[in-house]
Every structure is written in C-alpha cells, then in structure tokens.
Structure 1
C-alpha cells in the first residue's frame, strides 16, 4: 500500500504537464454517472497527499511496531485517505458529504485509538465540533436545491468549513486531537482533515473576504500566543498548524485563493516532516512529550537536524518552502487592505518565529536541571531515515518548484518592502527566548478560555450541579418513577385500611342469603 501511494504520486505528477482541465463522467454499471473534476487543484493536492501518506505510513512501522492492533490502525488510516480523495475529486454533493463524514468518523476513531480517559475526552470534543459542520452541511442541501437564498448557503458553507479547519471560535478541538498517535497527527495536520475546509472554500470561490481576514488574523494571533507559552512538544506543533491555517484564511481574505492553495501545499510538506521528527524524539524517551526533558541532540542527530530544517521553513526563512507563500501573501497586503490586519499579520509572523526558535532550542539545547530519562539506544533503520530524507529535501526545494506554477504575476513594491518579512523574523529571534517566560497559565492552556484546562466532562458536570438539584433531585424525584413508587407504597397502606369497608357489604349480602 505504501509503495502504491508513492508510485501513484509519481504518475500524477508526470501527467500534470499535459493536464486538460475539465469535468468528466464515469458510468457506474448503468446505475448513475459519477461526476469527477480534473484540474490543477485536484491533481496537485492528490499528488501531495500520496507523497505525504506514503512517507508517514513507512515511518509508522517504526513508531507503532509494538502495537497489538496495528492492522486496525492501518485500516483506519487508509479509510481516512480514501475519504479525503473522495472530497478532492468528486464535486457531487452526495459524495462530498460521504467524504466529509468519512473524515469526521475516522478522525474520531483515530483520536480514541488508545482508549484512555484523555483520548476519550479529546475524541468527544473533536466529534462534537465536527458534528456541527455535518449538521450545517445537511442544512445547506435544501437551500441549494429548493431555495433562492444564497446568503444562507454561504453562511452554512463558511461555518462548516471553519469547524473542519479549526478557525476561531472552533479552534479548541485541534490541540485536543493530539491524543491520537503521532502518525495520525502528521496526516491530520498536513494534508487531510484540517485542510479539507479551506480546500472547499478554495473550490467554491468563497467571497466573504473581510470576515475571513478577521477570523484568520484572530486564529493566527491566538495560536501564536498559546504556542509561545506551551511546553508540550506535540501541542506546540499543533498550535503552529493552527497558526498556519489562519495564514491560509488570511490569503483567502486578501482575495487570492491561489496563494491560499500554495501555502496549503507548502505547509503540508514541512509540517509532516516536523511531526515525524518530533515522533522520533518522543519515541526515544518512552513517550514523554515534555520539551524540557530533552537533553540528547547527539543521540538523535537525524531528528534534531531535520527539526531545524522544518522549523526554519515554518518561520518563513528565505529560501525555504514557507518563504515563497508567506512572502507573496505579505505583498498582497500592499493592494489596499486594512492596515490594522496588516500589522496583526506581521506580528503573527513574528510569533511564528518565536515558537519555531523554541522548537530549535528543544532540538539542540540542553536543560541540565531537568531529570533526563533513560534513552532508547536503538539505531534508526532505513524505513525511518528514507521518509525523513525525502520530506527534508522536499521541504527545502518544494516551495521553489511550486512557485513557478502557482504564482502568476507580482505586485509592484519597492525594495525595502521585501525586507519586512526578514525584519520580523529577526525580531522574533530576539523575542523567542524572553516571551515564553511570561504567560497566563489558564489563558494559554485553555486556548484563550475556549476550552477548560482539565477534562471537558468534569467541567460540564460542575456547571450542571444546579440543574441536577432542581430537576433530577427535584421535580423528577417526586413526579418521576421514584416518586410514583413512593406514592404507590402509600396507596398500598391505604388499600389495606380500605379493604374491610369495600368488601363488608358483599359479606353481609352473602350472609343474609344463606
């Protein structure tokens, strides 16, 4: 299956040179015609999906080699990829819902894979948030078929895409989904689940630009602030994904769906690499995700080196993959968009550099005061090094290779404007060591108070205490089954007392007859 994905990606990439865009039909045994879309968006996204999936599945043999239910994991991951391919290629509303629900159900099953309390609570939060989008998908269908209100259809589609892509205020489920295995996180955060909503917005040519610009800026700033105050290694990478999803929404807000799609592709490359390298570090310390305990850059030279490559591409350093898309989005802000959002976006770029440098410090730095756990002394085998090398090479050169195809034209700006992204990157380098020391613990751990710090179920139970006293222990206590049985017990005693009065006339009549 892994080699099949890899060869399919090569075949798709070869056919891109002679691509004829359009829509074609496939006859399904004379039952119906299957409508499929053939354009640059679908082919390039599917090629990226196959490359990332093949590398992640090859690497998962190392990470989950001791799992007893590894076949169940592979089956769920393949179903996950198939659902995403259905969403990419088939524009029919029926098959779009199948792919959309397939992503939601399989992501829920993968989040609760370990079946512990944390995974089940995270799965509940992920499932409930994604169910909002599924319900809105069903509500949009009658408006599309029978209604004439394009406004309500736009609102429904925007909201369901925001829930799947974790935009504000639906951002809380994305860090919670870190309870899933790390290979699942590498797929979810790179090229499958979180990109599905933005891909639909690109496909549908969505036009609520100011709203997307505002929500994307809020998401980027919130995720950047929380990532700077976080010490969980996987959660930092998850919050970095949330920040880059905000960048993609900003690209749609500045009326450039091609730049949004370009950043979606380039982000998927180095984010999958980042998750795989973080997984190697976590696996080497027996599952610990606390970044302050990592003190072994020499023992994991491959992972530490490639974390630097992926983090450098993440912060948009010239001339890595993330630079070409972010620099183009910054240039588009010179076309007269609100100045406040421009300043917030550049501040978000600085915050991106902050947590990127934090990841580099975690890979290279050492904390002598921390308790250093015993390391696994296993040597990385070829099926671990091979996907890491492939993703590392693509993370460096992929942005340049795609820029010639996806960036058409340029904005006329002066030379000093090209230095602004680099200036904010250097400013982030200076702020990185200091900003993580000052944070509000409750605010950073709860995603700006979107979710509680502890388990979701415990918070719900605490808030439902008054309801329990009023309803469960109040009205239902007396009017429900327990109250009825109590009253029935009193009726039994009354029945014993009333029995002589009821049957005495009958006994008298029988006595007089005889």
Structure 2
C-alpha cells in the first residue's frame, strides 16, 4: 500500500504539467452526482499528500514495530488519508463534509490510540474543538445559495477554517494532539488535518482579510514565545507548526492565495522530515520527550543531520524550501498593508529562528549529566533511511522547484527595505533567547493562559461534583421518582383493588348503549 501511494504520486506528478483545469462528473445514483475538481491546486496537493504519506507509513514500520495493534493503526491512517483526498477533490460543500467529518473522527480515534488518561483528555479537547467547525460547516451549507461573497457565508467559512487550522483562539488543541503516535503527528502537522482549513480558504472567496491578518500575526507570536519557553521536544515541533500556520494566515491576510498555498506545500515537506527525525530521537531514549535528557545525539548521525536540515528550512535559511515562500510574503507587505503587522511578522520570523536554533543544538549537543541511557538503534535499515532521504531532498530543493510553477508577482523594494527586516528578525531572535532563559511555570503549558479558558467547563464540573452528589443522594433521592415509589409502595395493592371500581361505570354505559 505504501508503494501504491508513492507510484500514484509519481503518476500525478508526471501528468501535472500538461493537465488543464476542469470539472469531473461522477454519477452515484440516477438522481445524484458528485463534482470532482481537477486543477493545479488539487493535483499538486494530492501529489504532496501521497508522497508524504508513503514516506511516513514506511517510516512507521520502524517506529511502531512492537505494537500489537499495528493493523488497526494502519486502517485508521488510511481512512485519515482518504478523508483528506475527498476534501481535496470535491468542491461541493454538500459532499465535502464527508471528508471534513472524516478528518475529525479519525483524528480523534488516532489521538486516543494509546488508552491512557492524557490521551483521552487530549482527544476530548481535540474532538470538541473540531466539533465547533463541523457545526459551522453544516450551518454554512444553506447560506451558499446567496453566494460566497455573502457576509454570513464568509464569516462561517472563516470561523470553521480557523477551528480546523488551530488559529487563535482555537489553538489549544494542537499541542494536546501530540498524545497521538509520532507518525500520526507527522501527517497531521504536515499535509492533512491542520492544512484542511487553509485549503478551503484558498478554494473559496471570503472577506475579513484584516481580521485574518491580525489573528495570524497573534498566533505566530504566541506560538513562537511558547516554543522558546518549552523543553518538550515533540511539543516544540508542534508549536512550530502553529507558528507556520500563522504565516499561512498572514499570506491570506495580504490577499495572496498563491503564496499561502506555496507555503503550505513547502512547509509540509520539511515538517514531515522534522517529525520523523524527532521520532528517531525519542525512540532512542525509550520514549522520553525531554530535550535535556539526550546525551548521545551524535550516535544517531543520520537523524541528527536531517534535523539540522529541516530546522534550517524551518527558519527560512536562503535557498532552502522555507526561504522562497517567506521571502515572497515579506515582499508582499509593501503593497500597502498595515506596517505594524509587518513588524510583528518580522519578529515572529526571529522567534522562529530562535527555536529552530534550539532544535539544532539538540542535534549537535549532548547532556553529559543525563541519567537516561541511549538505545543504540540501527538507523541503517532501509525503511529508516529511505523516507528521511526522500523528504530531506525535497526539503532542500522543493521550494525552488515549486517557485517556478507558482507565480507570486514582483514588487519593487528599496534598499532601506532590505535593512529593516534584518533588524527586526534579529530583535525577535534576541527575544527568543531571553524567553528561553526565563521560564514561567504555566506559560508554555497553557498557550499563554489560553488552555484554561477552554477547560473552564470541565473545571466547573469538577468543582460541582460534591453538590451534585449531595443533590443525587439527598433531595432527588427523597422527592424524586425513586423516593415517591418507595414511600407509596403500599399503594400498588390498593390500586389493584380500586381498578375495577374505576372502570365499572364505563362498562355499564357501554352495556346499556348496546
């Protein structure tokens, strides 16, 4: 199945350059048909999805080789990929809800794959947040008769996409979804769940560009600060995904859908590579995710080298995949958008550089005082090396190859405009280093105190446990149906005796009527 995905992606890539856009009609019944769109967006995104999925599934043979329920895991992942493919190719809101709901249900089942308390609580937060988007999706379908430019349609589509793509204030579920296995995280954070919302925004017309620009900037700054203050390696990579989703929102906010789609594709390449390399490091220390516990990262040269490569692409180093899209977004700000968001965006890039350097130090350095032993794994097996090599090659060359296909326009930039980004990026880098030294006990774990607001309802239920027990065992037990039935137990016999006398007048009337 993995090789089938890979060969399908090669077939799509080979026919992509000479393919014209169009609509395909597929009849299911006599009275219904499904529209399937075939254009550059759908074919390029599906090709990327199949390449990333084939590499991640091949690598999962190594990471989950000791799992007894590996077939169940593969079945859920295949349903997850099928739901995303349905959302990509079906433009109709009526039928694309199949893929949208499929993503939500399968992601919930994958988050609770490990049956423990943390996974179940994370699955509840993920499922409830995605349910908000599902309800808004159903509400948006009747309003489509007014067109995409209608105010209600734009607001509903924007909000449901923000819930799925974890933008502020719906960001707390994304770090919680790290309870899922690492191969699932590599798929969720690269090319499936979190990118579904922005793919819909690329497809549909909407308003509120300034609002999206503000929320994307806020999400990027918040995720960068939390990532610099975090010491959980897997959660740092998750927060980096949240930061790059903010970059995609900023690209849409400056009214450039091609730039958003370009960064979506390039980000998927190096983020899948980064998650697979982090999974190798986690597997080498018997499942520990504490970055200060790695004492022999140099012994895993293959994974450490690709971590450096993926982190370099993440921070937008010149001529890597992340450079081309971020540089184009910076240039697009000079068309006439608010200068304040431009400066905040540059500081967010500096924070991205700070936690990317933090990941590079994990790959290069080692903690000699760590007491956790390192498992000397054999990373020379082909199903470890081959996926890392494929994704590493695309992380270096993918941005350049896609930049020639996606035309993002040209902007005349003065010399002073080249100096200003460097100053604010350096300021963001310094801010990230300072935040790394300063650690607030609740700042990184609560997403700048955002998570407690989403868990407010659960805290109310915990606090009201004792009053509810008092009510259930007290007043309701005495005055409820159970108490009344117990106190009037002797009335049953009286009711049996009185029943003939109650119905006898009716019987007499019927008798005399005939």
Q: Which residue of 2 aligns with 1:213?
A: 213
Identify the residue that residue 129 of structure 2 maps to in structure 1.
129
C-alpha separation between the residues in 1 aligned to 2:492 and 2:115? 53
Structure 1 residues 438-457: aligned runs within 5 Å: 438-452=438-452
Structure 2 residue aligned with 1:511: none
Deviates more, 1:359-368 or 1:386-395: 359-368
Q: Secondary structure at the match of 1:349?
A: helix
Question: Which residue of the partner structure matches residue 370 of structure 2?
Answer: 370
| TM score, norm. by length of structure 2 | 0.90
Question: Which residue number corresponds to residue 504 of structure 2?
Answer: none
Aligned residue in 1 for 2:75: 75
Would the aligned equivalents of 1:358 and 1:433 in 2 still touch at CA under 8 Å? no
> Displacement, 1:333?
1.1
- Aligned-pair distance for 1:149? 9.2
CA 1:288/1:430 → structure 2, altered by over 3 Å: closer, same or farther? same
2:451 is paired with a residue of what secondary structure?
A: coil
The CA distance in 2 between the partners of 1:347 and 1:150, in whole Å, is 35
Secondary structure of the residue aligned to 2:175 is helix
Shift of 1:25: 1.4
What SS is found at the alignment partner of 2:37? strand
1:255 aligns with 2:247: no
Residue number in structure 2 paired with 1:41: 41
For structure 2, the 5+ residue unaligned runs are 499-514
In the other structure, the counterpart of 2:178 is 178
Deviation at 1:458, TM superposition (A): 6.5
Partner of 1:507 in structure 2?
A: none
Name the structure 2 match of 1:307.
307
* Alpha-carbon contact 2:348-2:428 (below 8 Å) kept: no
Equivalent in the alignment of 1:288 = 288
Is the CA contact 1:143–1:149 (under 8 Å) kept in the aligned structure 2? no
Alignment match, 1:264: 264
Moved more, 113-122 or 418-427: 418-427
* 1:468 is aligned to 2:481: no
Contact kept in structure 1, 2:266 and 2:321, CA below 8 Å:
yes
The aligned runs of 1:87-126 (5 Å cut-off) are 87-126=87-126
Per the alignment, residue 198 of structure 1 pairs with 198
In structure 2, the partner of 1:225 is 225
Q: For 2:482 and 2:173, locate their aligned partners in 1 and report how far apart those are by CA, in whole Å.
A: 39
Deviations 1:437-459 (A, max 9, x none): 21322122111222149998963
Give the Cα separation in 1 of the matches to 2:147 and 2:41. Answer: 29
Deviation at 1:153, TM superposition (A): 1.8
CA shift, 1:350, in A, is 0.9
Deviation track 1:239-264 (CA, whole Å, cap 9, x = no partner) reads 10001101100110011011001000
**Structure 2 equivalent of residue 336 of structure 1:** 336
Q: Which residue of 2 aligns with 1:51?
A: 51
Give unmatched runs, 5+ long, in structure 1: 503-514
Q: Is the 8 Å Cα contact of residues 357 and 432 (structure 1) preserved in structure 2? A: no
The residue aligned with 2:391 is 391
CA distance in 1, matches of 2:415, 2:158: 37
- Deviation track 1:249-294 (CA, whole Å, cap 9, x = no partner) reads 0110011011001000010000000000000000111111010001
Structure 1 residue 139: Cα displacement: 1.3
Separation of aligned partners in 1, 2:139 and 2:478: 40
Query: What is the number of equivalent residue pairs in this alignment?
Result: 495
In 1, distance between residues paired with 2:409 and 2:453? 46
SS of the residue corresponding to residue 35 of structure 2 reads strand
Cα–Cα, structure 1 residues 343 and 41, in superposed 2: closer, same or farther, change >3 Å? same
Q: Measure the CA separation in 1 of the matches of 2:454 and 2:148.
A: 45
Q: Distance in 1 between matches of 2:389 and 2:436?
A: 31
The equivalent of 2:167 in structure 1 is 167
The farther-off stretch of 437-446 and 390-399 is 437-446
CA–CA distance in 2 between the matches of 1:130 and 1:64?
27
Distance 1:492 1:44, change over 3 A: closer
Alignment of 1:7-22 (within 5 A): 7-22=7-22
CA distance in 1, matches of 2:363, 2:385: 17
Whole-Å Cα distance in 1 between the matches of residues 419 and 21 of structure 2? Answer: 38
Contact 1:27/1:34 (CA < 8 Å) preserved in 2?
yes
Tell me if structure 2 keeps the 8 A contact 1:121–1:455.
no
CA contact (8 A) 1:219 1:242 kept: yes
For residues 427 and 493 of structure 1, the distance between their equivalents in structure 2, rounded to whole angstroms, comes to 82
Report what 1:66 is aligned to: 66
Q: Alpha carbons of 1:279 and 1:462: their partners in 2 closer, same or farther (altered >3 Å)?
A: same
Alignment partner, residue 508 of structure 2: none
TM-score where L is the length of structure 1: 0.90
Contact 2:296/2:374 (8 A) holds in 1: no
Greater Cα offset, 313-322 or 189-198: 313-322
1:322 aligned residue: 322
The CA RMSD measured in Å over matched residues stands at 2.6
Q: Is the 8 A contact 1:357 1:429 kept in 2?
A: no
- In 2, Cα distance between equivalents of 1:385 and 1:257: 35
